[in-house]
Structure 1
């Protein structure tokens, strides 16, 4: 995970603000149980005489080093416009007390309530607060909003989810998300092992560090123990009862992000004042995101907060419910610097401008007419999926899907005639199918593609479903081999134009490695053609009023803090095929570089290597390994952390091995291996 700010000639750097700003560093916020959390606070210098509302960002990613550069462009900007902008490390992270035992625990929410109460009591505070956050900070913003603290008046949630089971890095469609579950757990395994800064907490840092090393668990073990949607995942999933949130929410994401779908669900279910924004971006704030066009998002955030925290009429509530970006057709590239397209506006979601259009499967074709009854066999090809791109791109080179012609020979593909007129799609495609499987455990993966007249095939959406979860994620049921079932597979949301002359392609497979952990045995599916098997596309009718919206200001931020580049970033992503042994491997390496911050003297860096491999015709050969190296230090204080995480399975169990090694200087001070065997539960 890269916490850096990419320089852009299109971004305006603001140094003069309406109010002069001061920064209060490493402020201790007391918790009700006696623990304390560490915070940075950016304030107008006259806030004691002229109190201000607060904006809280609440994260586990270390304000003093790993997110310091990112924080420097945003928090001073808010403070300069009349806010107390507060960045808090959650319990167990950075200099804050304690140990981080898992994601999104009740303790994390309880602490946030204590933080909000503390803010409301400060002399510089008006008593009104908002929250803003991307990813983890977007998740806990929603979760804290559901706790209804009286000081919290609104939130902006970016790249987040309302559903921790069905729409996060652990499980997708009831399938174990092999591309990300172990990787993300290994990331937090390494991150949680970083020590407090002795310059801030004193000599107690070492005792706390050894405590964190010994007692912070590999999160992946708990995640794999809960393979169905049980109370573990229901906790923190605000979709369990949307009515718990009674304040306005501004939900933001991008088409390259892994969490776009939640924007549409939130707009459908949250208070009527809530709004949504979806651009072409990866998993990042829209003022610094790729691909272009980035927008003046901090100005939009100010309009939102001014409306709800200062009681100013900024005009934002006169604007449409959803503003989104319809991308023009592009040839497949694993990296885009820019995505041409247009902004469109919808007054509600579901939108009155979007209607379903059905495309039926027949032979190898896609048709708008219901075909005659027939069927087709869809066999397992275990190496299907290596060119799917990453689940949640951060904007790094090589994140996106390659030309799908590399995949289509490993699936059954259905192709439409050339379109006579362009289609504009906005929302979720839904694949409806009548099918049977020859095993009691099976999955289905469906890809939707834009095929150019010259043959290139661009992946525009995909979805997958563990067929034992066809009726319920809470109560999966084995299949009866050979029995017909009617299922629906909801594909990821999209905003996409398909030009006239292009074709639609749908690919179907019972495998999608490394996105989905393979079924215990090789699966053959049978698809039955007729009125029950079709792709439902969300076709949007363009509106004349669309041109009135999406005229955002140019991106602007505060000045990026000084930093020295010690080691440059490097990325490689390779698919390796050993035809002699029939083994396919994806090797993904990211050197996130090393930097030094002159403001506090800290130097930090990270490297991450991930491999996924599988042998042809052998689903039980699936293997995932994730390795991290983190460095942190200053002057005569240096620590290094090395982690190795592995996962594999047989027909009945998953196997997990996690090893953590810590060094102070050149001395090894800690080494421990955690091992777990966990029964497979319909996965």
Structure 2
């Protein structure tokens, strides 16, 4: 799977009502390493993922930035409990919210789970179709979150993000369950071990039956106004990398946009003679087993100017956590024609509560 996509192959479909009578639940039961139509005998599988599990998560919100889409999921699948179907005999279309119903227990009062639905090609490439994450203190809703009772069985229902997808014949469906999803989700205060009960746990797919008389729904190209006339002064680029330190047992995720968050470079807006540059560096790091090692920082520089005038804005934000609080640190410095004109720093500490 490519991390940069300008288009995805597919088609638009429409339903006359929602919930749609054309959508039927297809139930697949979790068995050790498998997704089965028939309910298997109950079993138990334990998982405590390294806290850096999630390096293939992609960005939380897509904005058309290069490299933001989730890559091949095999690196995260290997750190999760994975359940696969046999190769499909025919295409399967889904439309709606896949649902994971999991019987589980935790050895700690606080923890989290991440569930991913993937499309596994015959060559093994794993494409993330949908996912959900859950702070287990919110397993019964967010109105009154409360900790887990260690080792007590509970049933958890996770509605995965809405999706429309065709799993082609010959591919496999994979459900992957992990106890971490960094850097998309801040780690819980404990690296809990989750025990999953197979047989009772299941995946409910919103399967859409094909309709031979279905109409195609084409859409024209989007409309937009005229672009402001501009000149590229210096090309930019976007860089994304993940580094694992196998001595310190840490993972560091760095995203850099030079010349703009989209990597658009340094631009001059010709009608007003103004040059604009924006550089950003985001660094997210965590240890394999220490949730309090998590750190997130963002450094940014904005430069704007024209003949005889220039401004520079520098910002810095950082987040850390301990057992009882989350801490935010920030700074802002503003310069005009090289002279400091404004500066401020922030420091906020928030009670961790049920995180």
Q: 1:394 aligns with which of 63, 68, 71?
A: 63
User: 1:619 Cα deviation (Å)?
Assistant: 1.2
Aligned partners of 1:639 and 1:479: how far apart in 2? Answer: 52
User: 1:556 Cα deviation (Å)?
Assistant: 4.5
User: 1:555 Cα deviation (Å)?
Assistant: 4.3
Q: 1:606 to 1:486 in 2, by over 3 A?
A: same
Q: 2:336 aligns with which of 639, 653, 664?
A: 664
Choose between structure 1 and 2: higher helix proportion.
1
Aligned partners of 1:352 and 1:568: how far apart in 2? Answer: 52
Aligned to 2:208: 540
**Deviation readout 1:316-344 (Å, 9 max, x if unpaired):** xxxxxxxxxxxxxxxx1111233211221
Aligned to 1:143: none
In the alignment, is residue 590 of structure 1 matched against residue 257 of structure 2?
yes
In the alignment, is residue 467 of structure 1 matched against residue 139 of structure 2?
no
User: 1:603 Cα deviation (Å)?
Assistant: 2.3
Aligned to 1:526: 195
Choose between structure 1 and 2: higher strand proportion.
2
Aligned to 2:284: 612
Aligned ranges 1:216-231 → 2 under 5 Å: none
**Deviation readout 1:154-211 (Å, 9 max, x if unpaired):** xxxxxxxxxxxxxxxxxxxxxxxxxxxxxxxxxxxxxxxxxxxxxxxxxxxxxxxxxx
Aligned partners of 1:513 and 1:554: how far apart in 2? Answer: 36
User: 1:545 Cα deviation (Å)?
Assistant: 4.2
Aligned to 2:219: 552
Q: 2:296 aligns with which of 618, 624, 628?
A: 624
Q: 1:418 aligns with which of 50, 73, 87?
A: 87
Aligned to 1:145: none
In the alignment, is residue 347 of structure 1 matched against residue 347 of structure 2?
no
Aligned partners of 1:510 and 1:609: how far apart in 2? Answer: 28
Contact 1:343–1:546, Cα closer than 8 Å, also in 2: no
Q: 1:563 aligns with which of 230, 245, 266?
A: 230
Partner SS state of residue 214, structure 2: helix
Aligned ranges 1:28-47 → 2 under 5 Å: none
TM-score (normalised: structure 1): 0.50
In the alignment, is residue 644 of structure 1 matched against residue 316 of structure 2?
yes
Q: 1:616 to 1:543 in 2, by over 3 A?
A: same
User: 1:402 Cα deviation (Å)?
Assistant: 1.4
In the alignment, is residue 436 of structure 1 matched against residue 105 of structure 2?
yes
**Deviation readout 1:596-630 (Å, 9 max, x if unpaired):** 22222332221111011011111111110111111
Aligned to 1:232: none
Structure 1's consecutive aligned runs of 4 or more residues displaced over 4 angstroms after TM superposition are none
Contact 1:421–1:499, Cα closer than 8 Å, also in 2: yes
Q: 1:449 aligns with which of 118, 140, 143?
A: 118
Aligned partners of 1:554 and 1:642: how far apart in 2? Answer: 38
User: 1:428 Cα deviation (Å)?
Assistant: 1.0
Aligned partners of 1:358 and 1:335: how far apart in 2? Answer: 33
Aligned partners of 1:365 and 1:474: how far apart in 2? Answer: 35
Structure number with greater Rg is 1
Aligned partners of 1:458 and 1:648: how far apart in 2? Answer: 32
Aligned partners of 1:627 and 1:525: how far apart in 2? Answer: 36
Contact 1:415–1:503, Cα closer than 8 Å, also in 2: yes
User: 1:367 Cα deviation (Å)?
Assistant: 0.6
Query: For this pair of structures, how many residues does the alignment match?
Result: 350
Aligned to 1:308: none
Aligned ranges 1:156-555 → 2 under 5 Å: 332-531=1-200, 533-547=201-215, 549-555=216-222
Contact 1:381–1:411, Cα closer than 8 Å, also in 2: no
User: 1:546 Cα deviation (Å)?
Assistant: 2.9
TM-score (normalised: structure 2): 0.95
Contact 1:626–1:646, Cα closer than 8 Å, also in 2: yes
User: 1:469 Cα deviation (Å)?
Assistant: 0.5
Aligned partners of 1:546 and 1:643: how far apart in 2? Answer: 53
Aligned partners of 2:106 and 2:188: how far apart in 1? Answer: 12
Contact 1:381–1:511, Cα closer than 8 Å, also in 2: yes
Q: 1:453 to 1:564 in 2, by over 3 A?
A: same
Aligned partners of 2:220 and 2:143: how far apart in 1? Answer: 45
Return the structure number with greater relative CO, CA threshold 8 A, min gap 6. Answer: 2
Aligned to 1:574: 241
Aligned partners of 1:529 and 1:376: how far apart in 2? Answer: 7
User: 1:508 Cα deviation (Å)?
Assistant: 0.5
Aligned partners of 1:423 and 1:354: how far apart in 2? Answer: 12
**Deviation readout 1:529-575 (Å, 9 max, x if unpaired):** 223x111111111223432x422234454432211122323100001
User: 1:444 Cα deviation (Å)?
Assistant: 0.8
The Cα RMSD (Å) is: 1.4
Aligned partners of 2:160 and 2:51: how far apart in 1? Answer: 21
Partner SS state of residue 345, structure 1: coil
Q: 1:658 to 1:554 in 2, by over 3 A?
A: closer
